[in-house]
Structure 1
């Protein structure tokens, strides 16, 4: 899931946004106590009792604290009256808010995680919370980790870029890593529902924007690092620093690191927490290794080597890159006391992750897939694998998301065209950018490769129909960039659009009688 550079102060929820599941706190907390927890002078008297927190005025529940933060386009203070009318009894901000007793701090976002954790009596202390971070592979590794925990009989929670799930309910994810109040609410719900473990996908935004502050992680997995999200971080060094901050001892008790990645090796050498390493390339010295990797259209297999372990593994997930993800999941589970056989059984049983090389089958004579790949490093792993699945044509559909790192737009088109026979450039979520400018940047990169035929079709539905019209028996069509995402957003408007659903419709139209 793509992340905004900074979350809007009070972004209106999309029409499909699910309701909050605010657990009843062990006890409501007086505002004076929250002030003391932040090192502030307590207001006169105990103040109102607070039962929850949110930074979105449209999601306020009675007895909430409303966090009015500086946003990308406007300040949350603008919505204080709406928050109060919805039942907010207090506020956190960098300025006093009219009508609400306010805890005033210079950087309210920087303290919101600790405040929310205190409000919910630090739920991560009662759970084994696992984090997964990296440029690529976070979502799949998080789901593999959750599958291994469940196979071992653990009662689990899952917070990935695809879904948020507790034993009692599930809902689509709103962003890769929830904002701090939501994260602490979900962890508190897990504790209340008797869960023992949680797998959390942690983006660089999640660390840099303090969303995971106040959370103690039993262990964290580092998958890899490539050039991405430079609109937020500015350069790769700052991006790496944000990822590395997750592994500081105050946050994380154990680091599980991909030794095949140069930044992973650097991380393993510098962290002050215990380190376990893994290598899909069979790197000597890694604690967990894979050998004899085989990846085809039916799945992925490899020989798993680790402490007391030498066995074959057969994943239903497609792509050799899933070996890295499975190794990370198995390594972190073993290191925290989960039986290897249970971890492997869970990994082997996972049938798929929405939007991650997700098959779309409508009876067509070629392979059609949807994938979330949205950076060059991911393309360089994915597209050669897909090329190897066919002796015919590889057709790639892609675009660029607006208000994101503009430096990766042309490289996305160029890398796709070097592997594909046909590249169909179309619109993704332009947000506030000009869709034509985004398309042209991607198309220019694709044309510069001088290999593939380049087609430009702004309408995403029409682009999918064009892509499937180009494919014949034995070919591969892949729709890149959005994965599981459910909306297209442009010009301040959003509309429902799921790539897998619309690709299935395009395949059905192709197969319709008379066509």
Structure 2
């Protein structure tokens, strides 16, 4: 598509003198830019895309859209007031997704979004619709699984690529989680929804929004993007939901567990350890429903799923809906019964309201002792940490505090914040873990697959092995137990050799998100997925080096580096276990990852030159 045509469809004015190159793609990440792409510079939380305009041009960008015009550029540059909104509209124009051939449901709220997407997916499949969902669990469909983005709601460019993929695959219903941050940052700009669902609003993301009122204001933007025939499904038991329902001037349906006058409500329901059974009243008939979910909060999830589904399929009037075939929802009241250690319930509750509801629901399950293990995420709303500690103390017989993705924060600071809400140290265990955790045991020659990423998310898929013995970037050197890191070079791409690496005994492969999108067949293998395998490899080496206490000597200069390195190694080898590295960056990284902590009295030193 020509640049001028693309700008015109997106409603962005272009100077009359602007050149008109062919645009072959859209990118907001300079590292992903390819020849012919349009690069849109957006401002992020930690970095500003405007500082990466020059690298994007060197990568082959054919044109740039930005808010501040750079100096002395010899390619077309279009300045806009808001580059995030421009990214959304240009992506929609490029992928031709202004009109979608499928029913689009957007679900927003603090808690319950993921469960609701999976419930709706199950109901849509029962109606015979080819269905996909997008949210915290990534993108799930009958034809493709995987992350279009690491975010709950993808960036607008990735979102429209997902819409385009769904259109080509014949998807009839797409159900997606819409976060308040995505609404605030224009990721869903200019998208219209057929159904919009409001679950609830409780304390979360106040580090971003600043107040509950601003948090609520961001959430309700979704309902201004309903199609004229679209329907709002709202939980009126929630105070913010009731406020939204009474003020919304659009087709709407109320859901309640308490109000028998609501459009959708239970006349009766029964909860047990096996799930829920109940009778739902709709605006024009009654039906029975059953689902393998426990907890009162899941009664509302089921009710809203039925409401959204019934409003979409107004011609269907079933007497009974069974969700018994619903698979376990990862991290949502996921029950694991063990032979020796009792019942384990895994839930990703990360807000005060969510942890309160989970622990309150657990009270209904017979037990002698309740142990609560939890932590709080780093670089997120700090005010909720002591509140969650207080709630845990209210219900638990014992509390174990641990890490929950501390990101760039000191994990000990996070735990101290939680402790402010806990009044007694009795029955309290604090598990102190590193910010990025790769467990290393003295005398053991392996690293465990255990990551808590500070700067990016490592996505682990299909990994059954607990550890890897060595790291390799060359399939000709692969040994059983290795981790293969797929690097893209000037002549070859390591992603082409993943099959060979696994067949030779590699326990997993580190690959990029882009490679997984382009080569879906990779997903049959155990994978560590990251945005950049070069950076991921360096992060791995850096963290591992910090754990094994290796001393590193670097030698630099115009001449004499090799001889000096060899002399240092020779002198120190009488006292230390010495490992040498060649100058290439990857070689240094491999040497660090392959080094072993010596069980003898010798220390380890790695001289290298660069």
Q: Is the shorter-chain TM-score for this pair beyond 0.5, marking a shared fold? A: yes
Measured against aligned partners, the alpha-carbon deviations of 1:160-185 in whole angstroms (never above 9, x if no partner) come to: 21021344321045111011111111
Q: What corresponds to 1:47 in structure 2?
A: 20
User: Secondary structure, in 3 states, of the residue corresponding to 2:453?
Assistant: strand
Instruction: Say if 1:174 and 1:42 are closer, same or farther in 2 by CA, change over 3 A.
Output: same
For the structure 1 residues 137 and 452, does the alpha-carbon distance in structure 2 shift closer, same or farther, using more than 3 Å as the test?
Answer: farther
Distance in 2 (CA, whole Å) between partners of 1:156 and 1:232 is 32
1:189 CA drift (Å): 1.0
Q: Report Cα offsets for 1:382-401 as digits up to 9, x if no partner.
A: 11111221331111111111
- Structure 2 CA distance, aligned partners of 1:280 and 1:34? 49
* 1:57 aligned to which of 30, 43, 54: 30
**1:188 aligns to what?**
164
- Corresponding position of 1:214: 190
Provide structure 2 residue ranges, at least 5 long, that are not aligned to the other structure.
438-449, 467-610
- 1:438-477 matches, within 5 Å, as 438-445=414-421, 447-448=422-423, 450=424, 453-459=427-433
**For the Cα contact (< 8 Å) 1:330–1:343, is it kept in 2?**
no
How much does 1:305 deviate? Answer: 1.6
Q: Distance in 1 between matches of 2:186 and 2:99?
A: 16
Q: Does residue 1:488 correspond to 2:487, yes or no?
A: no
Inter-partner Cα distance in structure 2 for 1:198 and 1:241? 25
Residue 46 of structure 1: CA displacement?
5.9
The aligned counterpart of 1:407 is 383
Matching of residue 68 in structure 1 with residue 41 in structure 2: yes
Q: How far did residue 58 of structure 1 move? A: 2.6
Deviations, residues 227-283 of structure 1 (Å, cap 9, x unaligned): 1111111100111111111101566732110111111111011112211111123x1
Displacement of 1:306: 1.3
How many Å separate the matches in 1 of 2:163 and 2:344?
Answer: 37
SS of equivalent residue, structure 2 residue 270: strand
| Counterparts of residues 114-263 of structure 1 (less than 5 Å) | 114-172=89-147, 174-249=150-225, 253-263=230-240
Q: Which runs of 5+ in 1 are unaligned?
A: 1-27, 464-485, 504-515
Q: Is 1:294–1:320's contact at 8 Å kept on the other side of the alignment?
A: no
Label 1:146 to 1:46 Cα distance change in 2 as closer, same or farther (>3 A): farther
Pairwise CA distance, 1:294: 2.5
For 2:544, the equivalent position in structure 1 comes to none
63 and 301 in structure 1: CA distance in 2 versus 1, 3 angstrom threshold: farther
1:287 Cα offset (Å):
0.7
Alpha-carbon distance in structure 2 between the residues aligned to 1:278 and 1:257? 6
Contact 1:166–1:190 (8 Å) recurs in 2: no
Alignment partner of 1:274 is 2:272: no
Where relative contact order (Cα < 8 A, 6+ residues apart) is larger, the structure is 1
2:62 & 2:282 partners in 1: Cα distance? 54
Corresponding residue for residue 557 of structure 2: none
Is this contact kept in 2: 1:220–1:247, CA < 8 A? yes
- Alpha-carbon distance between aligned partners in 2 of 1:226 and 1:502, rounded to the nearest angstrom: 39
Could you report, residue by residue, the CA deviation over 1:140-164 in whole angstroms, capped at 9, with x for unpaired residues? 1111112211111112221121021
* 1:375 and 2:351 are equivalent in the alignment: yes
Q: Cα offset for 1:426?
A: 1.0
1:382 partner SS: helix
Where does 1:502-513 land on structure 2 (aligned, <5 Å)? Answer: none
- One of 1, 6, 11 as aligned partner of 1:38: 11
SS at match of 1:360: strand
Cα drift, residue 71 of structure 1: 1.8
Distance 1:276 1:221 in 2: 10
Shift of 1:207: 0.6
Please tell me the root mean square deviation across aligned C-alpha atoms, in Å: 2.9
Please point out which of 431, 444, 461 is paired with 2:407.
Answer: 431
CA contact (8 A) 2:336 2:345 kept: yes
Contact kept, 8 Å, 1:52 with 1:65, in 2: the verdict is yes
Q: Is the CA contact 1:159–1:201 (under 8 Å) kept in the aligned structure 2?
A: yes
Equivalent in 293, 296, 305 of residue 329 of structure 1: 305
